[in-house]
Chains A and B, each alone.
Chain A
Amino acid sequence: MRGAGAIGVAANALARAEAQAASPAVSLAGIDITFNLKDGGRYQAVSQINLDVAPGEFVAVVGPTGCGKSTLLNAAAGLLQPSAGKVGILGEPLRGLNLKAGYLFQLDALMPWKTALQNVAVALESQGVTGKEADERARAWLARVGLRAFTDRYPHMLSGGQKKRVALAQVLIRDPKILLMDEPFGPLDAQTRQIMGNLLLDLWSKDRKAVMFVTHDLEEAISLSDRVVVMSAGPSAGIVGDYRVSLKRPRDIADIRLDKDFHEIHRQIWQTLKVEVQKAYAAGEGKDMVADGSHAGVGR
Chain B
Amino acid sequence: MNGSYSRFRITLLQVLVAMLFLLCWHIATTTPLFAEPKKMQFFFSTPIDVLARTWRQFIGGEIWYHLGITLTETVLAFVFGATGGVLCGFLFARKELLAAVFDPYIKAANALPRVVLAPIFALWFGLGIWSKVALGFTLVFFIVFFNVYQGVREVSQTVLANARMLGMNERQLMRHVYWPAAMTWMFSSLHTSVGFALVGAVVGEYLGSSAGLGYKIHEAESVFDVTGVFSGMLILTIFVVILDTIVTMIENRLLVWRPGQASTSANG
Contact = CB atoms under 8 A, between A and B. Distances in A.
Among B157, B160, B161, B180, the most chain A Cβ lie within 10 Å of the Cβ of B161
| Chain B interface residue number, banded | 20 to 34
Among A101, A107, A113, A122, the most chain B Cβ lie within 10 Å of the Cβ of A113
Contact of A156 (B166, B168, B257): B257
B161 A105 contact: yes
Which secondary structure dominates where chain B touches chain A?
Answer: helix
A154 interface: yes
Given A97-B165, A102-B165, A123-B166, A154 B256 contact: yes
A79 B180 contact: no
A189 B151 CA distance: 32
Contacts of A171: 166
A109 B169 contact: no
B184 interface: yes
A79 B160 CA distance: 11
Contact of A122 (B166, B256, B259): B166
B168 A300 contact: no
B253 interface: no
B176 A122 contact: yes
Interface in A132-168: 154-156, 167
A298 B236 CA distance: 52
B180 to A, nearest CB: 4
Nearest to B162: A109
Among A99, A109, A127, the most chain B Cβ lie within 10 Å of the Cβ of A109
Interface in A96-111: 97-99, 101-103, 105, 107-111
A229 B85 CA distance: 51
B33 interface: no
A102 B258 CA distance: 27
B104 to A, nearest CB: 25
A79 B177 CA distance: 18
B85 to A, nearest CB: 19
A250 interface: no
Contact of A299 (B157, B172, B177, B184): B157
B61 interface: no
B177 A111 contact: yes
A170 interface: yes
A244 interface: no
Among A111, A155, A156, the most chain B Cβ lie within 10 Å of the Cβ of A111
Given A113-B184, A156-B257, A103 B159 contact: no
Contacts of B177: 111
Nearest to A112: B257
A77 interface: yes
B184 A103 contact: no
Contact of A109 (B158, B172, B184): B158
A126 B163 CA distance: 10
A98 B164 CA distance: 10
Contacts of B60: none
B168 A126 contact: yes
Given A107-B158, A110-B159, A300-B157, A79 B166 contact: no
A126 B165 contact: no
B43 to A, nearest CB: 53
A261 interface: no
Interface of B: 156-169, 172, 176-177, 180-181, 184, 256-259
